[in-house]
Amino acid sequence: MKYGICMQSLVPVRFQPGDKQEMINQLLFGDQVFIKGQVKEWVLVQTLDDEYEGWVDRKQVEIISKEEFNELLNADDFFSLELASHVSSEDGQTNLMFTLGARLPGYNLNRFQVNGNVFLFPGDTCSNRENASPGHILLYAEKYLNAPYLWGGRSPFGIDCSGLVQMVFKMGGVLLPRDSSQQVNMGSPVNFIHEAQPGDLAFFGEEEGDITHVGIITGNGSIIHASGKVRVDHIDHQGIFNAIENKYTHHLRVIKHILT
């Protein structure tokens, strides 16, 4: 097995090999992957954090040694809190664009090192060493407000409902699966909407169907979620009510408490 890391700002992960295939996920800078196979110019990757698989153009993943992979794995994780920022290597040879949520392994004194390169990042960061709290989760979620909806997206330039939840909790030090149908299996159930706390996850779908949507309870009868864009809407025991459309858009199925 080979080991890799994303050294670009955003890389599409596709359902099948090929540029015209469906994008099901994205890699952000610093995401580590296992490389499980190759078809021509495409590699099958499995993400370290959530074991999600998909195909990536092999030119968009850097191969690293098992030793460096494990060293990065054991480093303290920091994440960019900047919507977008330019990052340069210490020698000035490399310039990159980072987005909100980019991983900065082993960040210290405005520096971090990946694949032999030392990068300078003077912007705001958060650390997985900090205990996740509802306040942290909601603060990170609000940074994505008005980001456009994008199936498979994980950045402020396009994100889907489960990607929003996964990124926000990851920045808070809590790893969740990629899809809402998987995320619903995490945490402990909350029986009634009035018992829900800020930071709880609400899941939606038809009565007998699969879970198809997820959002983060903010308190005061509101939820932040990605639907058309990242937005805040009213939630009650029936589901999400969109005041602009004057109708319920998502049927509430389950509420889960994630934070301990």
In angstroms, what is the C-alpha Rg of the chain? 19
Note whether 55 and 15 are within 8 A (CB): yes
For 127-157, the pLDDT digits (tens) are: 977 768 999 999 999 999 999 999 999 999 9
d(CA 248, CA 242): 6
Kindly state the tokens that stand for 176: 């969740």
Kindly state the tokens that stand for 213: 């949507």
What are the φ/ψ torsions at residue 73 (nearest 5 degrees)?
Answer: -60, -40
pTM to 2 decimals? 0.96
Mean pLDDT of 118-133: 88
For 147-206, the pLDDT digits (tens) are: 999 999 999 999 999 999 999 999 999 999 999 999 999 999 999 999 999 999 999 999
The whole-number pLDDT of residue 208 equals 81
Per DSSP, the three-state class of 2 is strand
d(CA 176, CA 162): 9
Give 209's pLDDT tier (boundaries 50, 70, 90): confident
Note whether 72 and 105 are within 8 A (CB): yes
d(CA 133, CA 110): 25
**Domains of the chain: residue spans and CATH:** 2-125 (2.30.30.40), 134-257 (3.90.1720.10)
Place of tokens 């509420």: 255
